[in-house]
Amino acid sequence: MSHFIKLSFFLTGLIVFSYGISIAITVQHLGIHPWDVMNIGLFEKFGLTIGSWNIIIGGMLILGSLILDRRYLHVGTFLNALLVGPLVDFFLWVNIFPKFPHLVGEMITLMIGIVLMGVGGGMYSASGFGAGPRDGFMLSISDKTGISISNVRILLESSVLIVGWLIGGPVFVFTFVYTFIQSPLFQMSFLYCTRLKKQLLTHVQTERNLPL
């Protein structure tokens, strides 16, 4: 039962996170997350799908973590790399998204996507199945170099953003505010889901120890 609870948090978080990415992509002209800027740039320049590039980049980051420090690699890291891309492609194909007219409506749409990405990211991270490829890679770099995690995130995402922009990825105002909005949401979701998971696991353990 404990594994089922953790897996439920993980898979639900991945689905919510992927749907949030897909929503943001529908209004990409307002600006999207640096990693998605690069994925879309690669898609427009070389083909395949946005989800396929998500898998490819995730695999490269896992390889980098294997070289630097494999302590952050767990089964969830590989599942994240393999599932988020296909889920994003699926949601884009199904095309069931909130649609609002005019600029204000598009900004609301993007905010919904950012919120879902933050909540979903915190949820799957709280499952205990391991960090995602991006987070694992950043943590590995931080450990090896001694640079703070926040500074590593800024440097890495800035580099990714520049590469994505150079190959034609969409960059606009919201690209630069993602971290300020999404990171607090991620933290709140992570802390809440961690507490909820512990409560559920404690409840299950207590029931198992009850006398028949």
Is 182 among the domain residues?
Answer: yes
pLDDT above 90: residue 89: yes
Please write the tens of the pLDDT for every residue from 24-80: 888 888 888 888 899 999 998 898 898 999 999 999 999 988 888 777 788 888 988
Is 210 among the domain residues?
Answer: no
22, 97 Cβ separation under 8 angstroms: yes
Count up the domains in the chain and report the number.
1
Is 209 among the domain residues?
Answer: no
Please write the tens of the pLDDT for every residue from 168-203: 888 887 887 776 777 788 878 888 888 888 888 887
Please write the tens of the pLDDT for every residue from 120-167: 888 888 888 877 888 788 878 887 888 877 678 788 888 888 898 899
Is 212 among the domain residues?
Answer: no
pTM for this entry: 0.85
Q: What is the pLDDT of residue 106?
A: 86
Burial of 167 (0-12, 13-18, 19+ CB in 10 A): middle
Q: What is the pLDDT of residue 20?
A: 92
Cβ neighbours of residue 200 closer than 8 Å, sequence gap 6 or more: 5
Q: What is the pLDDT of residue 101?
A: 77
Residue 212's pLDDT band (cuts 50, 70, 90) = very low
Residue 211's pLDDT band (cuts 50, 70, 90) = very low
Is 18 among the domain residues?
Answer: yes
Is 19 among the domain residues?
Answer: yes
Q: What is the pLDDT of residue 1?
A: 67
User: For the range 58-61, what are the long-range contacts, defined as Cβ-Cβ under 8 Å and sequence gap of 24 or more?
Assistant: 58/82, 58/84, 58/85, 58/132, 58/133, 58/134, 59/133, 61/133, 61/134, 61/136, 61/137
The closest alpha carbon to 139, from 125, 153, 155, 127, belongs to 153
Is 206 among the domain residues?
Answer: no
Q: What is the pLDDT of residue 210?
A: 46
Is 153 among the domain residues?
Answer: yes
Q: What is the pLDDT of residue 207?
A: 66
Q: What is the pLDDT of residue 129?
A: 82
73 is in which domain, residue-wise?
Answer: 2-201
pLDDT above 90: residue 22: yes
